[in-house]
Structure 1
Amino acid sequence: MRIRQLVLVAGQRDSVVDDLCSLFEIEVAFYDPGIIHFGLENAVIPVGDTFLEVVSPIQEETTAGRYLERRNGNGGYMVIVQTEDLKSEKARVEAEGIGIVWNADREEEGIHAQAIHLHPRDVGGAILSIDSMTPAKAWLWASSSWEKNVRTEVCNYLNGVHIQSKDPESMMRSWERALGKGSIYQDNQFQIQLEGSKVVFVEDTDGRGEGIEAFEINVNDKEKVLESAQSKGLVRNGEVYIGGVKFLLN
Structure 2
Amino acid sequence: MIQIHPLPSIGEVRPGDDLARALANAVHAAGIIPLASDVLAVTQKIVSKAEGRFVDLDTVTPGPKALELAEITRKDPRIVELVLAESQNIVRAMPNVLIARHRSGHVMANAGIDRSNLGPGDGDRALLLPVDADASAARLRNALAAIWPEAPAVLITDSFGRPWRYGVTCVAIGASGIPSLVDRRGDVDRDGRTLEVTQIALGDMIATAAGLATGEGAEGIPAALVRGLSWTVADTPAAALVRPIEEDLFR
TM-score by length of 2: 0.28
* Higher relative contact order structure (alpha carbons within 8 Å, sequence separation ≥ 6): 2
TM-score by length of 1: 0.29
Looking at CA atoms only, which structure, 1 or 2, has the larger radius of gyration? 2
